[in-house]
Amino acid sequence: MKTPLSCATLTLCLAALIGPASAQTIDRSQIPIGSLDEVAAFQGPGPSGIVETPDGRTFVGFPRHAIDHPGMTLGELVNGKLVPYPSADVSFPSSLDDAHRLISVHGMTLDSQGRLWLIDDGKRAGHEGIQPGAAKVVGIDLHTNQIVTSVVLKDALRQDSHMNDLRIDLTHGAKGTAYVADSSFGESPALVVVDLATGKQRRVLANDPSVQPQKDFVTQLDGVPMRYEGAKTRFPHGGVDSLALTADGSRLYYSPLTSRHLWSLPTAALADSSLSDAQLARQIRDEGEKVMTDGMDIDRQGRLYLTDAEHHQILRRWPDGHFDVVLRDPRLVWPDAVFVTANSVYVSLGQWDRFGKGFDTREPPYLIVRAPLDGTPQYSAQPN
């Protein structure tokens, strides 16, 4: 695979253009940071979910809610080539009914036992609504490569639902509990809680500000300032989107896409079906401000990794609340999903801010990239 200029080379080029200058005059926001490796490049469709297992298996999701493409919706990278997973009949359009094949794979994760989980949002672009059986929480045993759990979303599903991401908590429920972010294609976001043993499901906090888009939100993407205007909004937008579950399963962090605020909840409360929304809301913790975020993940040290499309970077929030930059690179065009391993952070780049109603300025290839968690930041100049 042909590899573009490294961050170090870009930094040297930038330094040459800037010339001699004091550290105070350099705009550090334009300086690449970190080491970026290309894991895969796709001509289309655009990727979203990404998972890397401890033994080096890589899984990528290709949703159909934006473009109803004829390709696989879930694939595994095998020797550099994408293979439909867990089978061609399940991943490609086929004669299987919607409940027994994958329609539109979006968020993906591993549970604490190493099983692959994904949210099938069930939505196909250009098709009216979401068909019965299409939206579901799916668990796959990576040893047998078989689907071992499939919970169809019924009671918790709305026809404007956008089941966006999920996390699996094995500390609550007989077979665990799934927390799903329904960011909504309309105006009805919510957190969805699914008991994986019984299939019981419910929507929570639908009217709470912590899951709703920020009404006065303004962003700047590719240098263009834009304002949130509900359904007329031209940039990717929505309610609760990003999710991250602590390593011990005790706390879920979440944030709307159209927001700069971070929130969290104890999973003991979230998994308790006896609590009303009012009781649950009283346990929400305001974690403060951050950047506009589409994807989040957390490492075993409790450090939270957040995508930052506005500045082409990946940020890290430490347990004490301070931030640093893990990766900054002009190739990070709308970093979408982020997945953290013991040593690296993986990111999918779908360029989704360049696609919408009546326009598509994306430029393939669409990348999966990774960066080391604790690399040395690279600057063209250091403070005196």
Give residue-wise pLDDT tens across range 218-247.
999 988 999 999 888 888 999 999 999 999
CA 231 → CA 239, 352, 370, distances in Å? 12, 16, 33
CB 106 within 8 A of CB 121: yes
Q: What is the pLDDT of residues 139-182, one digit of tens each?
A: 999 999 999 999 999 999 999 999 999 999 999 999 999 999 99
What percent of the chain is helix, strand and coil (3-state, nearest 5)?
10, 35, 50
- According to DSSP, residue 172 is labeled S
CA-nearest of 210, 214, 212 to 280 is 210
Q: What is the pLDDT of residues 17-36, one digit of tens each?
A: 445 444 556 667 778 888 99
Q: What average pLDDT does the chain have? A: 91
Q: What is the pLDDT of residues 45-57, one digit of tens each?
A: 999 999 999 999 9
By CB neighbour count within 10 A (0-12 exposed, 13-18 middle, 19+ buried), where does 376 fall?
Answer: exposed
CA 289 → CA 255, 259, 262, distances in Å? 10, 9, 6
- Would residue 311 be called left, alpha or beta, if left means φ above 0 and alpha means ψ between -120 and 50 degrees? alpha
Q: What is the pLDDT of residue 29?
A: 72
Look at residue 11 and tell me whether its pLDDT is greater than 80.
no
pLDDT band for position 97 (cuts 50, 70, 90)? very high
Take residue 104 and report the two structure tokens written for it. Answer: 């539109």
pTM for this entry: 0.91
pLDDT band for position 13 (cuts 50, 70, 90)? low
Q: What is the pLDDT of residues 129-142, one digit of tens each?
A: 999 999 999 999 99
Across 207-216, 223-232, 241-250, 306-315, least confident range: 223-232
Q: What is the pLDDT of residue 375?
A: 61
Take residue 194 and report the two structure tokens written for it. Answer: 């699914």
What's the whole-number mean pLDDT along residues 320-325? Answer: 95
CA 251 → CA 162, 212, 294, 342, distances in Å? 23, 20, 19, 20
Look at residue 377 and tell me whether its pLDDT is greater than 50.
no
What's the whole-number mean pLDDT along residues 62-90? Answer: 97
Q: What is the pLDDT of residues 337-356, one digit of tens each?
A: 999 999 999 999 989 999 98
Take residue 261 and report the two structure tokens written for it. Answer: 């605020």
CB 62 within 8 A of CB 69: yes
Half-sphere exposure at residue 164, Cβ-oriented, CA atoms within 13 angstroms: 30
